[in-house]
Amino acid sequence: MSVVNSQQTQRRINELTRNTIALILAGGRGSRLKQMTDWRAKPAVPFGGKFRIIDFPLSNCINSDIRKIGILTQYKADSLIRHIQQGWGFLRGEFGEYVDLMPAQQRHDEHSWYQGTADAVFQNIDILRARNPEFVLVLAGDHIYKMDYSAMIADHVANKADLTIGCIEVPLEDAKAFGVMDVDDNRRVRAFVEKPENPPIMPGRENTALASMGIYVFNAGFLFEQLIKDADTKGSSRDFGKDIIPAVIDKYRINAYPFLNLQSGQQSYWRDVGTIDAYWAANMELIGVKPDLNLYDNTWPIWTYQAQTPPAKFVFDDDDRRGQAIDSMVSGGCVISGATVRHSLLFSQVRVNSYSEVNDSVILPEVNIARHCRITKAIIEKACQVPEGTVIGEDRAEDEKRFHVSEGGVVLVSAEMLGQRRHYVR
């Protein structure tokens, strides 16, 4: 491609992204994360040492040059709202850039809550119409991945689609947890089924299904028309996957967009961290020498709010009392005081005191681990004060008496479980 053609293509993509509004569905509780979502919505759950889950779709928008963003909030949203206000106020309104919070407001009926994913967008249809976008990008706010949405929008336009659905390849046995598509050789969607017992197999593949990522590019006029039609349909659950998409497949152009690495052609990194085991594993992956999710990629930074903290500190160097972290990630403000941390991820302002050991664990912000503790394969919730001599992760039967233990053996510890005053967690 010539330089001139490349510049023209980039200008066209910039025009498409400027005419796009992204809506991030961030109202879900995420009940499978157990006590981690007792006081916050799933998109506000901390991840990766310094981020929140919602920082990933938000950063994808910014890095894709989409700077008109609405966040649809609902369940226990204060933590999420505070994070957005503190960390995402750098866009310039005079340039038409914004990150707007859009809570449920009873705009069209007596229900105080959004009734489904489609209803969440429908309840804000007047706001969207007033902003007159050409495209609406609908995103889930609770997945971990890096994706260039501008390429997906360009593909949507090139194929003259009414709706394009972002998709990943999943093993057939895992597909029952997703919305699954049946597509032809041109990526046109011929059927869409939510959580099917017998998922359709991808063309030309064995034991693989094409699953929806919950990422949709709509032509704005088409979206508005279908939302109104769905709102007038009795018995609808007001959901994109269950109602909107199945209803339009036969009459309109619905395309699948595979989420692939452009260099290798392989499936790109995407994680649903919706269970304790999945959350723990995704954090543990980051500690690897060459993790699939590269947080050190300066060409695709993950933006967030981060409190100003001092550097991490490691103190004492005696044979039986050495402050050290091995194969670990340690965030700012942490103090490892005569303790050993192995293959673990510590969020900001964690203190691990003398003679304690932390192994294979995720420690959220402001946790204090007292002396002579042994913690293995655990998630310690924010602001927990772990008493001296506590042992976690060595005896499942004992752990289950006090804490939540996942199917995979990950021990989740909250302040309430430790008998500490029930408190609000941000």
**Cα separation of 331 and 287, whole Å?**
13
Rounded to 10°, the helix 149-158/3-18 angle is 100
With b for 16 or more beta-carbon neighbours within 10 A and e for fewer, the 381-420 pattern comes to bbbbebeeebebbeeeeebeeebbbbeeebbbbbbeebee
Is 179 annotated in a binding site? The answer is yes
3 state DSSP class of 101: strand
- Around 174, how many Cα atoms within 13 Å sit in the side-chain half-sphere? 10
**Cα separation of 183 and 106, whole Å?**
37
**Cα separation of 332 and 349, whole Å?**
7
Is 195 annotated in a binding site? The answer is yes
Return the bridge partners of 346, or none: 330, 363
> How far is the CA of 86 from the CAs of 83, 204, 304, 305, 330, in angstroms?
5, 48, 9, 6, 23
**Cα separation of 335 and 19, whole Å?**
47
**Cα separation of 259 and 265, whole Å?**
9
Joined together, the tokens standing for residue 52 give 């929140």
By CB atoms closer than 10 A (0-12, 13-18, 19+), residue 191 is: middle
3 state DSSP class of 118: helix
Is 34 annotated in a binding site? The answer is no
- Decide: 259 and 213 in contact? Cβ < 8 Å: yes
β-strands 329-330, 345-346 pairing: parallel
Binding residue ranges: 114, 179, 194-195, 212
Binding residue ranges for alpha-D-glucose 1-phosphate: 114, 179, 194-195, 212
